[in-house]
Structure formats: structure tokens, C-alpha cells
């Protein structure tokens, strides 16, 4: 079930193609075992013992045939080209030419494998040792199996999504049976908190806005015991998105602090600074990140020979960044408004890059894409339940719903067909570049 969810929500999911690095313990073990095996094969062939080779050739032929459709002309041609009976007769008579045999197999694999494997095919063709050729053939076949499996996953992803959604609904319904209202106590609390947050902000709680706000609330730090029952599968991924969002917002806030204090030529090193800050953020704890950003920023600004008092101001303001900081709070609100539209699109309008966040546009786009897929999959499973609960809450506070509000509930209950946007969807990229204008640094915040 975990694998089905991963395939459904992650367009980039693939089986691992990479071998462990040679400098790792696993890599060393793999290399040693393979080398020992092929050394045994080589010694046996030198001593005239072909007993190990024929089963390997037979296995190679069977694996090649599995890549082809039954009853295809190519399949029959390959059976004739790799004639096991003829190969066995040549081995028994001592007339077999391994270089020619394995060279033909490599050429055949070159025709069947993906272009991404052309480099390995060329490397195999340059081998003159027949055992090394056989080692290359087995490696190519292994990679081709992975390629074919990943291709199959891409082809059946829509089917897996539908089956996963149905299975999730059935599993949740079965789990909730006999538990009464307690089965969805945390989910109801989560939806109610969304309504309360909108009310505190002076926003009329409309169905779409309620669910948007709720998904954004899920990016906040929640106690493991407080996750809504309907978000259990998404909890880990949403926690990661929330953490990464906080980190890139700290970076965006630091850019605005620097832009306000440093000279205009600073723009020339902005990209260079960002390139260094992103990996720093990846390996630094959230609470330690402001200081790490400040240290790196001062290092990059040394070439400007800024006065000590300016450097101290920049370093101090960046170090003091936290979730209550005015700049950070403003950028976070804008990011959340943007992500809410990604979570539950209410129109086909293309979201625009929030003002002040253009410096982290790529990173925000990546998070937005993942966030949209996670929320989309969750809505596919629980949209009807969310709408039923929201309708009850609104009716209990305002009385019977107006026709317009009822229509909104109906629209929201129609779960998205897929959590993965098609390439033509206007929300696929997650961001639309904002048209930049030449303006003072504070304009990045939208402050006069």
C-alpha cells in the first residue's frame, strides 16, 4: 500500500538504477563478489570447462525474449540467432567462438535497450575478453529490466491511482466502523480550526477557502498525536514540505535584509550567494540556519568593503530572523496564500509568483508541485467526507446553506481526476514568473 501511494503521488518515482558507490561498504562487497564470480568463469573456460557458460547463455536468451511481445517476428529471429542447440554442439566440439557470440549479443542489446544505455553498449563492444563481455551483457540486462519496469510503472500509474483511492476509502471506512465520532475527531477539529482561522482574519468561510486553509495548517508543526486521521499517509511528506518551506523563507528574508542595506552592485553576487545557501540550508537545523546564513552572507559581501557597522547590522538582523520577524511573517503569509491555491485550485487562473519570493522561485515551485500532488491525492480519497463535514459545520453556525453555497459544496466534493497536473495545466510549474520592475529594495516586499 505504501508503494502504491508513492507511485500515485510521485510522478518521478522509479526503481533504483544506481549501484552502490565503490567506496562504500556495500559497493566493495558487490565488486568483490562479482569479480570473484567472473574470475571463476574465466578460469573454467581456460581449463576447457564450459559447464557454467551454457546455462548463462540460455538465461541471457530468456531474459532478452521477455522484453519482446509474444509471437513477434523479432522474437522468432532472436530465437534463431541464439540457437541453444547449435551453441551446445559447438561447445562440445570445441569450435565455438565466444568473441563472435558475445559480440553479437552486445550488438543485439544495443538495438533493444534505451538510448541512455548507448555509452555502456559502446564500452562493452570495445572489450576483447569474452568473460568481460559476458559481464557487460549481464549488467546491461539488469539495467534493461529496471528500465522496462519503470516504463511499466509510468504506463499503469493512472490505474494504480484509481485502485489506491478506492482501497484507501475502503480501508478507512472499515477502520472507522464501530468507533463512532471518535474515528474522525482530529479531522473534524482540523476542519473547524480552518474555519476559525478564516474568521479571525475577517474572511467569510467558504467551502473552498476552508479546505485551502486546512491544508496550509497541515504545514505547521503538529504533534504526532494531533494529525487528522485522514492525513495519516500524508503526514511525513507534509512535515518535510513545511520544514523546507521555513528554510527557504529564511533565505528569502535574508535576501531582502541584505538588499535594503547593501549597495546595488550586490545584485551581482546574489545568485552566487543563493547557490551556496541552498546546500547550507539542507544540512543545517532550522534553529541554526539564520546564523549560518548570516555568516555566509558576510563572507560573500567582503568584496564590497562595507563599513563594519553595515556588516554588523546585516549580520545581526539575519541572525535575529525567526517566525515572528515582520519580514518573515509577511513572506510566509504570501507563500501560504499561494500554496493554498495550489492545494485546492478554485479556478484555471495561473498562480503568480508572490512578491518578494522571486529569489526562491525555483525552490518554491518544487515544494508547490509536491504539495499540490499530496493534497490532490488526499482530496481524491476524502473529498466527499470533507464536504459533508464542512456542510454540517456551516449549517450549525449559519443555518441552511444558500443555493450558491450549496453549489460550492457540490463543486468541492468532486475530487480531482488526478493529483498530478498534466504538462498543459497552468498550475504544473507551480509558479508564474512575476514581471520584474526596477524599483527600490523595499518594493520586493510590496511596501511603499
Burial category of 234 from C-beta neighbours within 10 Å (exposed 0-12, middle 13-18, buried 19 and up): buried
Q: What was the pLDDT predicted at 267? A: 64
Q: What was the pLDDT predicted at 382? A: 92
pLDDT tens string 118-129: 898 999 888 888
Q: What was the pLDDT predicted at 1? A: 63
The region of weakest confidence among 69-83, 173-187, 209-223, 241-255 is: 69-83
38-44 mean pLDDT: 84
Rounded CA-CA distance 151/276 in Å is 36
Rounded CA-CA distance 233/374 in Å is 9
pLDDT tens string 87-117: 888 888 888 888 888 888 899 888 888 888 8
Task: Report residue 66's pLDDT band, with 50, 70 and 90 as the boundaries.
Answer: confident
Q: What was the pLDDT predicted at 326? A: 93
Long-range contacts of 221-226 (CB under 8 A, 24+ apart): 226/186
How many CB atoms sit inside 10 A of residue 376's CB?
23
Decide which of 192 and 442 is more confident: 192
Rounded CA-CA distance 396/74 in Å is 68
For residue 439, pLDDT over 60 is answered with: no
Decide which of 291 and 130 is more confident: 291
For residue 59, pLDDT over 60 is answered with: yes
pLDDT tens string 334-356: 999 999 999 998 777 768 888 88
**Mean pLDDT rounded to a whole number for the chain:** 83
pLDDT tens string 384-410: 999 999 998 988 887 787 787 788 888
Helices (H) and strands (E) in the chain, counts: 17, 0
Decide which of 143 and 303 is more confident: 143
200-218 mean pLDDT: 91
Pair 156, 180: CB distance under 8 Å: no
Taking CA atoms, 370 is separated from 20, 106, 204, 241, in Å, by 27, 40, 28, 8
Rounded CA-CA distance 373/379 in Å is 10
Taking CA atoms, 290 is separated from 44, 126, 279, 337, 408, in Å, by 63, 53, 14, 24, 43
Going by C-alpha positions, the residue among 361, 363, 396 that lies closest to residue 282 is 363
Pair 131, 57: CB distance under 8 Å: no
Pair 420, 376: CB distance under 8 Å: yes
Report the share of the chain in percent with pLDDT over 90.
Answer: 29
Q: Which ranges in 47-129 belong to alpha helices (H)?
A: 53-66, 73-81, 84-93, 98-112, 118-125
414-443 mean pLDDT: 45
Rounded CA-CA distance 217/344 in Å is 13
Q: What was the pLDDT predicted at 269? A: 74
Pair 257, 444: CB distance under 8 Å: no
139-156 mean pLDDT: 85
For residue 371, pLDDT over 90 is answered with: yes
Chain CA centroid to CA 35, Å: 35
How many CB atoms sit inside 10 A of residue 202's CB?
6
Amino acid at each position: 500500500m505504501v508503494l502504491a501511494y508513492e507511485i500515485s503521488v510521485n510522478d518521478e518515482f522509479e526503481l533504483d538504477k544506481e549501484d552502490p558507490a565503490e567506496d562504500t561498504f556495500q559497493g566493495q562487497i558487490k565488486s568483490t563478489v562479482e569479480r570473484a564470480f567472473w574470475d571463476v568463469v574465466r578460469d573454467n573456460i581456460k581449463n576447457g570447462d564450459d559447464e557454467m557458460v551454457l546455462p548463462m547463455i540460455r538465461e541471457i536468451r530468456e531474459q532478452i525474449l521477455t522484453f519482446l511481445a509474444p509471437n513477434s517476428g523479432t522474437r522468432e529471429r532472436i530465437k534463431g540467432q541464439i540457437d541453444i542447440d547449435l551453441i551446445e554442439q559447438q561447445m562440445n566440439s570445441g569450435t565455438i567462438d565466444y568473441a563472435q557470440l558475445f559480440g553479437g549479443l552486445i550488438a543485439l542489446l544495443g538495438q533493444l535497450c534505451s538510448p541512455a544505455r548507448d555509452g555502456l553498449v559502446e564500452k562493452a563492444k570495445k572489450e576483447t575478453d569474452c568473460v568481460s563481455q559476458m559481464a557487460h551483457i549481464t549488467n546491461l540486462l539488469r539495467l534493461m529490466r529496471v528500465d522496462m519496469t519503470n516504463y511499466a510503472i509510468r504506463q499503469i500509474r493512472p490505474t494504480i491511482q484509481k485502485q489506491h483511492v478506492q482501497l484507501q476509502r475502503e480501508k478507512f471506512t472499515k477502520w472507522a466502523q464501530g468507533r463512532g465520532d471518535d474515528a474522525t475527531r482530529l479531522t473534524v477539529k482540523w476542519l473547524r480550526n480552518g474555519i476559525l482561522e478564516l474568521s479571525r482574519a475577517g474572511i467569510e468561510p467558504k467551502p473552498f477557502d476552508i479546505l485551502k486553509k486546512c491544508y496550509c495548517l497541515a504545514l505547521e508543526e503538529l504533534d504526532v498525536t494531533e494529525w487528522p486521521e485522514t492525513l495519516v499517509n500524508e503526514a511525513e511528506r507534509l512535515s518535510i514540505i513545511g520544514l523546507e518551506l521555513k528554510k527557504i523563507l529564511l533565505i528569502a528574508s535574508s535576501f531582502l535584509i541584505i538588499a535594503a542595506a547593501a549597495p546595488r552592485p550586490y545584485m551581482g553576487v546574489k545568485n552566487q550567494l543563493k547557490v551556496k545557501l541552498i546546500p547550507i540550508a539542507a544540512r543545517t537545523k532550522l534553529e541554526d540556519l539564520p546564523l549560518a546564513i548570516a555568516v555566509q552572507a558576510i563572507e560573500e559581501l567582503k568584496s564590497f568593503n562595507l563599513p563594519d557597522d553595515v556588516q554588523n547590522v546585516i549580520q545581526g538582523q539575519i541572525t535575529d530572523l525567526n517566525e515572528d520577524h515582520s519580514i518573515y511573517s509577511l513572506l510566509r503569509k504570501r507563500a501560504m496564500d499561494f500554496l493554498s491555491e495550489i492545494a485546492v485550485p478554485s479556478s484555471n487562473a495561473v498562480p503568480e509568483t508572490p512578491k518578494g519570493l522571486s529569489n526562491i522561485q525555483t525552490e518554491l515551485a518544487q515544494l508547490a508541485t509536491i504539495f499540490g500532488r499530496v493534497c490532490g491525492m488526499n482530496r481524491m480519497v476524502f473529498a466527499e467526507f470533507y464536504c459533508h463535514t464542512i456542510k454540517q459545520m456551516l449549517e450549525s453556525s449559519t443555518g441552511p446553506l444558500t443555493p450558491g453555497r450549496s453549489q460550492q459544496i457540490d463543486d468541492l466534493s468532486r475530487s480531482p481526476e488526478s493529483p498530478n497536473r498534466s504538462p498543459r495545466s497552468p498550475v504544473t510549474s507551480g509558479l508564474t514568473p512575476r514581471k520584474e520592475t526596477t524599483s527600490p529594495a523595499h518594493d520586493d516586499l510590496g511596501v511603499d
